[in-house]
Amino acid sequence: MTGLLLRDAEVDGERVDVLVREGLVAALSPVGTLRGPAVDCGGGALLPGLVDHHLHLHALAAARRSVDCSVPDLAAALAAARADAHGWVRGTGYPGDDLDVRGLDALHADRPVRVQHRSGALWVLNSLALAALGPLDHPGVERAADGTPTGRLFRADDWLRARLPGSGLPDLSALGTELAGYGITAVTDATPDLSEAAARALTAMPQRVTLLGLPVGATTPPGAAVGPLKIVLADSGLPPFDALVARIREAHAAGRGVAVHSVTRESLVLLLAALDEAGRQPADRVEHAALVPEDLVPALRGLAVVTQPGFLADRGDLFRREVPAEEHADLYRCRSLLDAGVGVAFSSDAPYGPVDPWAVIAAATTRRTPDGAPLGRGEAVEARQAVEAYLAPPDDPGGPPRRVSPGASADLVLLHRPLAPALATPSAALVRGTVIGGRWVYGG
């Protein structure tokens, strides 16, 4: 018998043998009835591979070689940081909104430094870094009243990257292995306005890749899929209503839905009004939905919501302090959306949120914040629901979860334990192996 034989795997609560052939699940059979060399699964759960429905692959790979700027002593961290080949220091994850060129110079003025805010929307540069960039002609360059740059650059990633010395795209090979170690077999890259080179580089991942940021009319790289068009409703300034409607219509006319970044109630109200004007398509989705007032929940029916309860475990204590108490129940809603018939998918938003899907699953079930207390306890979901929020197809987030069944793609994750005890304590340590297209890419 050719192919991959997985013996004694738990599938949908039953222990079976699973035959994989030519990239597909070929057969499920009672244990011991399929002959040939086999991997003994020992009753461990066999699931469809997990799908991270929203993350930023290039930024995540770059973050792996950056300074963690969430530490208490940032000056010491920057001083100890290893610069790149051109002498620059790159930092990520700064949690505050108070840093500018003067503050960064006070922390580290000896080398050019760029520090990214934890939201991913803002870079702060010190004086040496600003001087090295040349003309500061991007609209996201913040200036003081006298016209002097403050060192703060909003949503200027591509512009900045083009002006940095030797700043090629990061190597993604280690990242692909890391994601496979979590059981992730497919990813949706949510980076907006992807260049052709950046989009093409993402196809080197072993995971199946869907692109949201590919511009309308751009050629889809071989090996990737194109998804809804990413539209960012920035906190720093919402677009005019007519402009948003026109962009939604442009995407729809090209046969694409829209995937719209919304983290405030104002942006959600604007989006829903724009969709009412432009018309909705089945592929339309809301990214994050970080704040959803209760009275807007019914209006989300028919849209997919791709949300990140992992942020509660990552920085929920800050939300508790910074978000008015009456809005705590509106943060990263899960259960109320599902109860209202809204399709919900989970994701990481890595590197801006925790990439480990098992940590996100745990956060969705407990809603616990770093200080140990739950936030929005009524929005918690059962562990099985949380897992299923990672099992929808990449092109149908919030849709029915994929199953291990004959004819299904052999994108699989094998756990060390049966599903019920595994979900009692969700952890990436449970992942024994990951199969993509019928081939082991992790473990085995």
Does the structure show a pLDDT above 70 at 187?
A: yes
pLDDT by residue (tens digit) across 88-124? 999 999 999 999 999 999 999 999 999 999 888 899 9
Whether residue 389 contacts residue 345, with contact meaning beta carbons closer than 8 Å, is answered with: yes
- Which alpha helices (H) appear in 17-56, and where do they start and end? none
| φ/ψ of residue 94, rounded to 5 | -65, 130
Spatial CA neighbour of 127 closest among 97, 93, 103 = 103
pLDDT by residue (tens digit) across 350-395? 999 999 999 999 999 999 999 999 999 999 999 999 999 999 999 9
Does the structure show a pLDDT above 70 at 167?
A: no
Spatial CA neighbour of 347 closest among 335, 336, 332 = 332
3-state class (DSSP) for residue 21:
strand
Give the tokens for residue 218: 């751009």
Domains of the chain, first to last? 1-48+402-444 (2.30.40.10), 50-58+170-401 (3.20.20.140), 66-163 (3.10.310.70)
CA 23 to chain CA mean position, Å: 26
Does the structure show a pLDDT above 80 at 15?
A: yes
d(CA 354, CA 377): 20
d(CA 84, CA 232): 30
Query: In angstroms, what is the C-alpha Rg of the chain?
Result: 23
pTM: 0.91
pLDDT by residue (tens digit) across 170-180? 889 899 999 99
Residues 6+ away with beta carbon under 8 Å from 68: 77, 91, 92, 93
pLDDT at position 127 is 96
Spatial CA neighbour of 413 closest among 135, 180, 162, 158 = 180
Does the structure show a pLDDT above 70 at 79?
A: yes
Does the structure show a pLDDT above 90 at 327?
A: yes
d(CA 37, CA 56): 39
pLDDT at position 170 is 82
pLDDT by residue (tens digit) across 16-65? 999 999 999 999 999 999 988 999 999 999 999 999 999 999 999 989 88
Among 31-40, 415-424, 427-436, which is the least confidently predicted range?
31-40
Sign of the dihedral through C-alpha 93, 96, 97, 100: negative
Other Cβ atoms closer than 10 A to 142: 16
d(CA 244, CA 71): 38
Among 92-96, 136-140, 164-168, 353-357, which is the least confidently predicted range?
164-168
CA 215 to chain CA mean position, Å: 19
Q: DSSP string covering 184-212, please?
A: EEEEEE--SS--HHHHHHGGGSSSEEEES
Average pLDDT rounded to a whole number, residues 149-155: 95
Using 50, 70 and 90 to split pLDDT, how confident is the model at 169? confident
pLDDT at position 121 is 87
3-state class (DSSP) for residue 362:
helix
Give the tokens for residue 386: 């949380």
Count of positions (residues) in the chain = 444
Strand partners, 9: 16
Does the structure show a pLDDT above 90 at 234?
A: no
Chain mean pLDDT for the chain: 95
d(CA 208, CA 339): 30
Average pLDDT rounded to a whole number, residues 145-163: 91
Residues 6+ away with beta carbon under 8 Å from 168: none
pLDDT by residue (tens digit) across 261-272? 999 999 999 999
pLDDT at position 247 is 98
d(CA 108, CA 112): 9
More confident residue, 198 or 444: 198
Give the tokens for residue 127: 């004086």
d(CA 275, CA 251): 12
CA 283 to each of CA 141, 213, 257: distance values in angstroms, whole numbers, following the listed order = 34, 15, 5
Tell me what percent of the chain is helix, strand and coil, each rounded to the nearest 5. Answer: 30, 25, 45
| φ/ψ of residue 175, rounded to 5 | -65, -40
Percentage of residues in the chain having pLDDT higher than 90: 90
